[in-house]
Structure 1
């Protein structure tokens, strides 16, 4: 089996990294966490190209867009449960690899983590496809010929806290990313970029593919008074208008579908306020969804802690008997 192409960089958004560290920091002091990493792999062209430059090489970038905390995809010996793994991967999502977080240990992969990463990276059925233009005469990519590359889930993200006891209120968490090379059975350290807004990160957003595209809506809620429709056709149009409004409310609650027609065509520049209102309502919708996710995560974590305490209580009662 061929090795996946080597990564030059790994990118992760600030909120995703913060959420991952928060999930790691809220575990009990003696526990470790495992989970899966999702995202996409793309070739990014450097932004500092000039007219005199002949270097058209592209950077192979793995962007982590989400994670899932679960250790059910492997057993204690490091064997991957493909049935459980397939069930954990969301629809239309690419699996990049996995992560492990442990406390007061050195920031280097353990033998267990080596075994799990080696097993996971060998599963070609979970590989993702990279669309690229390949130049057979060099390692760069140009428009001379087209090829399709496969990237197996060979990414490993390790989190650890310092070995020394934390005596202050400031908690330190270290992390490091690796790509597992199957041919040499070794970890290759890869630099990590935290995506932010600005010119230096424009290449990341240039290859961004939304998971939830804006729905295609009719936008025409008013009809010519010269057209005489029967009651059935009027009812059908009213139902379609209500359906379009519900789809729009998923992205931007409170924004009328009829106002979308003003944001298309040559007259759109005259309705910048409507565009700003749409953007503002979309941000409010995202904030509300984020609050719901955080609240749900807190409840799930609270329930997990309650179950652990209940389990320990049952074990102590059984031992006493």
Structure 2
């Protein structure tokens, strides 16, 4: 029996980044198992149109297991070895990811398309009916076999910017082919439910320590620096006023009827922060230019002083 067609494959940004990092730091090609769940989604119709959209299946990847080698659960012909697979599935790390939805393969400097061996592995793995699991929210009893395949590949040639390509497929047993699927990377917003349990900032915007003690600088320079500090303090107060009310406990408003208005407020705060960072970057750039000019002037003065001493002798 052919698998039910998936609408898309969803994965959180940190999970995808972890898979890519595991692949990029390995000495060679790797493979591994993908865990998650498949959900039967019925879209909500907000318009008065009588035509209703059909329900869809969404596969969500919530975890993975990478032994760091190839042929970790299959032999050289692509046939899945049941004892190797059971050994991997008995890992205690998989307590929160019990459902095996598929597998992934990472290859270096190759084209991002499935190989004959990966085709054989997909055929063998998807035919194991004992690994089938129920689909969430599905009407009646609907099971899903592990047929999701994620392919990662590095560029064929060396590049100055380190990049990786990835593609998602569903192996269809009826046609014995890989069906390309769109990859939905969830980071933030109403769709992030189920991917993140909690969030807390670890790098708050720092406040500049202002020291108004006396210094041996000239009065003009003191006044200029004091004006800059006052301007920064004013900007910091305006930024704090803009961030008022955006605490961690209010993140639950990102889900529900208030999501649209609350998200726009967060975007406005983010734009203010970008403007502030740009102003700070320009101040640093101007300060660096002044330091360079002062350094060049001191070098010229030293050369002139050396020339005068040589002429005296």
Q: Same fold (TM over 0.5)?
A: yes
Which residue is 2:290 aligned to? none
Query: Using the alignment, how far apart are the partners of 1:47 and 1:21 within structure 2?
Result: 34
Whether 1:99 and 2:104 are equivalent positions in the alignment is: yes
Which residue is 2:229 aligned to? none
Contact 2:31/2:72 (CA < 8 Å) preserved in 1?
Answer: no
Whether 1:79 and 2:76 are equivalent positions in the alignment is: no
Q: CA deviation at 1:49?
A: 3.1
SS of the residue 1:107 aligns to: coil
Which residue is 2:309 aligned to? none
* Consecutive unaligned residues in structure 2, runs of 5 or more: 198-247, 253-313
Contact 1:131/1:148 (CA < 8 Å) preserved in 2?
Answer: no
The structure 2 residue matched to 1:63, chosen from 57, 60, 65, is: 60
Which residue is 2:142 aligned to? 149
Which residue is 1:307 aligned to? none
Query: Using the alignment, how far apart are the partners of 1:108 and 1:56 within structure 2?
Result: 32
Query: Using the alignment, how far apart are the partners of 1:62 and 1:53 within structure 2?
Result: 28
Query: Using the alignment, how far apart are the partners of 2:123 and 2:50 within structure 1?
Result: 39
Query: Using the alignment, how far apart are the partners of 2:12 and 2:45 within structure 1?
Result: 22
> TM (normalized to structure 2)?
0.57
SS of the residue 1:147 aligns to: coil
Which residue is 1:118 aligned to? 123
Which residue is 1:24 aligned to? 23
Which residue is 1:291 aligned to? none
Q: CA deviation at 1:148?
A: 1.6
Whether 1:8 and 2:7 are equivalent positions in the alignment is: yes
Which residue is 1:35 aligned to? 32
Go from structure 1 to structure 2 and tell me whether the alpha carbon gap of 1:172 and 1:95 turns closer, same or farther (over 3 Å shift): same
The runs of 4+ residues in structure 1 deviating greater than 4 Å are none
Measured against aligned partners, the alpha-carbon deviations of 1:128-178 in whole angstroms (never above 9, x if no partner) come to: 111445xxxxxxxxxxxx412111001110000111x2141x111000011
* Consecutive unaligned residues in structure 1, runs of 5 or more: 134-145, 212-274, 280-321
The structure 1 residue matched to 2:189, chosen from 194, 198, 206, is: 198
Query: Using the alignment, how far apart are the partners of 1:59 and 1:113 within structure 2?
Result: 27
Query: Using the alignment, how far apart are the partners of 1:96 and 1:82 within structure 2?
Result: 16
Contact 1:9/1:61 (CA < 8 Å) preserved in 2?
Answer: yes
Q: Which has the larger radius of gyration?
A: 2
Go from structure 1 to structure 2 and tell me whether the alpha carbon gap of 1:167 and 1:52 turns closer, same or farther (over 3 Å shift): closer
Query: Using the alignment, how far apart are the partners of 1:51 and 1:83 within structure 2?
Result: 55
CA RMSD of aligned residues (A): 2.7
Query: Using the alignment, how far apart are the partners of 1:49 and 1:43 within structure 2?
Result: 19
Which residue is 2:133 aligned to? 128
Query: Using the alignment, how far apart are the partners of 1:49 and 1:64 within structure 2?
Result: 28
Which residue is 1:138 aligned to? none
Contact 2:126/2:145 (CA < 8 Å) preserved in 1?
Answer: yes
Contact 1:72/1:84 (CA < 8 Å) preserved in 2?
Answer: yes
Contact 2:109/2:155 (CA < 8 Å) preserved in 1?
Answer: yes
Contact 2:35/2:98 (CA < 8 Å) preserved in 1?
Answer: yes
Q: CA deviation at 1:72?
A: 2.5
Go from structure 1 to structure 2 and tell me whether the alpha carbon gap of 1:167 and 1:180 turns closer, same or farther (over 3 Å shift): closer
Matches within 5 A, 1:234-313: none
> TM (normalized to structure 1)?
0.56
Q: CA deviation at 1:98?
A: 0.4
Q: CA deviation at 1:210?
A: 9.2
